[in-house]
Chain A
Amino acid sequence: MRRVLRPLLRNRLTLGGFVGLLGLVLVAVTAPWWVPFPEHGGAARNLAHRLQPPDSTYWFGTDDLGRDIFSRVLLGTAISLRTGALVVAVAAGLGVTLGAVAGYAGGLLDEAIMRVTDAFLAIPSLVLALAIGSALGPSLTNALLAIALVWWPWYARLVRAQVLSIREQEYVAAARSLGSGAGRILYRHILPNAMAPILVQASLDFGYVILTAASLGFLGLGAQPPTPEWGLMVSVGRKFFPKWWWVATFPGLAIFVAVLCFNLAGDGLRELSDPRLRKLDGQANKEV
């Protein structure tokens, strides 16, 4: 454990990412109890104080309905983290299942699944998510579904490659000769050994999913008012931009910070999990 943790923590940027993530989770879980105006997370109105610039009461200013943007941004953390977790879980679930079946079964089934996977990968993901989202109708749940539906192929491809190499291992042959069925071999013997790259991929995806969900929210296809979803808040704030710049600026900053934390942490994990990359960096250091 220490051997894994030490290089991870030695890199300041990676460390910063993990600390930031911890902070985000803490805020997401505890925000409803301590933000200055918890009722402003919903449709509350406070018209006497609409569009107030940041001051000591309203740290990030107020929006067009007089709601405290600081409270709304913090309350929105839970929405974004939940979005990321749900999409990654659904996409990884779907992708891992299809990829594992393709890799283990081989032959025509493998060929069919992988061609469809490739075709999905060849469609610009935001555009496809938009088409799916617009057919399903604008809501946060539908946006989640739309993103998950364009995200699974990456996992399918990754898992298939893993399964292909692991299924030739001797312990798999041993399990087979003991009479284990295909399902048992896949879930008990192959997949647990293929998990590491999947987890790294998931950690990297988290940030992108949050970004995509915010983009759909910005285009009006994600969360609907009065949800304090960051992308939606930027979209509303755009109408008051640049004169009342704070309405759009702070939710946007929140998206940026959250995604950056996930990317820093994910990038650190990826470098750690790829020994080739680590060694290469070391060598290049010596030679260049």
Chain B
Amino acid sequence: MLDYTLRRIAFLALVLFVVTTITFSLAYLVPGDPARLVAGDKASQEQVEVVRIRLGLDRPIPVQYAMYLGRLLRGDLGRSLHSNRPVLEDIRDFFSATFELTTLAMGLTVVIGIPLGVLSAVRRGSLVDHASRLFSLAGVSLPVFWLGLLLQLAFGMALGLPIAGRVSSRVLMDAPLQTVTGMYLIDSLLTRNWAVFRSAATHIVLPMVTLALPSLVLVTRMVRSSLLEVLVQDYIRTARAYGFPERVIMFKYALKNAMLATLTLIGLAYGYLLGGSFLVEAVFAWPGLGRYAASSIILSDYPAIMGVTLLVTLAYGLVNLAVDLCYAWIDPRVKLR
């Protein structure tokens, strides 16, 4: 197991190396002179040159790259050209908002997607099953930013659910929230701040549902097809012959094996969620990484964009590392490969 874990971690390191290489090379395609951007429009040519030397931008590119990697290893993602603060500090608050949203969407995906997939497999060929095929193909065809707008129209207007932001600012003013993790739901629970908890919970419903829908239908589909594959195996027929109740066969024998492929998909789905969150955050004015990235893109603040890309990749990599380790733990054969 240790050997396998180390190999997976080495791969994650390779992934991060590739990402930094891509973003670093792209930085040279960005139009404009970064030294000029930092020094400001009014700076003289000498001042710009001083900034250039201070930032190390006068060195050969491979040296700059090595310096950049060195800084990364020390946890220094560089300074935002716009706010002139360390990118990591800029990102911290936004990250917890995105993490809260994607994690809850992931939870919803698993809690609804798996039972729905089982149902679809059990009733194979029935109306429920056909409806589920159309439903799942429709689900992955929906542009999430458009789905978000429709949900705002349907539920925001009709049910009065909030359609923008993480929490009502009035509630926050009456009952200030103590920051513990940066995730409003958890922080308000820990500090027993019920007013904020209620407000944060209603605010997250629509973005969460919007974000979860495409991955939810993918998981449903995957559970269905892998369950069908397992259900024709001999050991299931044996279990049936022994007269075990269908429920026991399904959940105790079949689903456990069908979960292996689903687990991998759940790891992949997290990538969809992270990408999708950029769109959902734009629609619901959710102050997360996507919003930060979008404004950085408009301001052509490339260090910030590099930082976000790297961090999102790291988050995705860690989730998939966890998934792979779970996989190896459930199915010992994996380790041998």
Contacts and interface: CB of A to CB of B under 8 A. Distances in A.
Interface of A: 13, 115-116, 118-120, 122-128, 130-132, 134-137, 207-208, 211, 214-215, 218-221, 231, 234-235, 238, 241-242, 245, 248-249, 252-253, 255-256, 259-260, 262-264, 267, 277, 280-281, 283-285, 287-288
Given A218-B145, A252-B143, A284-B228, 5 more contacts: A127-B274, A131-B26, A277-B225, A284-B232, A285-B125
Contacts of B306: 131
Contacts of A130: 278, 293, 297, 305, 309
Contacts of A135: 26-27, 29-30, 302, 305
Contact of B153 (A115, A245, A253): A245
B13 to A, nearest CB: 10
Contact of A123 (B15, B121, B133, B279): B15
Interface in B285-316: 293-294, 296-298, 300, 302, 305-306, 308-309, 312-313, 316
A137 B31 contact: yes
A197 B122 CA distance: 29
A195 B17 CA distance: 33
A287 B232 contact: yes
State the 7 A-B residue pairs at the shortest beta-carbon distance, nearest first: A126-B275, A252-B146, A135-B26, A119-B18, A259-B141, A260-B141, A124-B271
B248 interface: no
B22 A128 contact: yes
A46 B209 CA distance: 38
B157 A13 contact: no
B23 interface: yes
B142 interface: yes
Given A126-B276, A126-B278, A131 B22 contact: yes
A33 B318 CA distance: 53
Interface string B265-285: 000000110111011001100
Interface in B227-278: 228-229, 231-232, 237, 271-272, 274-276, 278
Interface residues on B, range: 35 or more
A242 B152 contact: yes
Contacts of B17: 119
A193 B25 CA distance: 37
Interface string B113-129: 00000000110110000
A252 B149 contact: yes
A215 B145 contact: yes
B111 interface: no
A147 B252 CA distance: 42
Interface of B is mostly: helix
Contacts of B302: 134-135
Interface of A is mostly: helix
A256 B275 contact: no
Of B138, B146, B283, B320, most buried by chain A (CB within 10 Å of CB) is B146
Interface in B1-38: 11-12, 14-15, 17-19, 22-23, 26-27, 29-31
B134 interface: yes
Contacts of A287: 231-232, 237
Contact of A215 (B134, B140, B279, B317): B279
Nearest to B237: A287
Contact of B297 (A218, A221, A267, A280): A221
Contacts of A208: 140
Nearest to A287: B232
Of A125, A214, A215, most buried by chain B (CB within 10 Å of CB) is A215
Contacts of A285: 124-125
A130 B26 CA distance: 12
Contacts of B276: 126
A205 to B, nearest CB: 12
B137 interface: yes
A105 B143 CA distance: 40
A131 B27 CA distance: 10
Nearest to B268: A121
Contacts of B150: 249, 252
B293 A115 contact: no
B141 A207 contact: yes
Contacts of B282: 218-219
A220 B298 contact: yes
Contacts of B231: 284, 287-288
B37 to A, nearest CB: 14
B313 A127 contact: yes
Nearest to A261: B141
26 contacts: A119-B14, A119-B19, A120-B18, A122-B11, A124-B275, A124-B313, A126-B275, A126-B278, A128-B309, A134-B302, A136-B26, A208-B140, A211-B141, A219-B297, A238-B149, A241-B153, A242-B156, A249-B146, A252-B150, A253-B146, A256-B146, A260-B141, A263-B137, A263-B140, A281-B228, A284-B232
A194 B297 CA distance: 40
Of A120, A135, A283, A285, most buried by chain B (CB within 10 Å of CB) is A135
Of A13, A116, A284, most buried by chain B (CB within 10 Å of CB) is A284
Given A122-B317, A288-B122, A238 B275 contact: no
Contact of A242 (B27, B125, B157): B157
Nearest to A129: B275
A122 B320 contact: yes
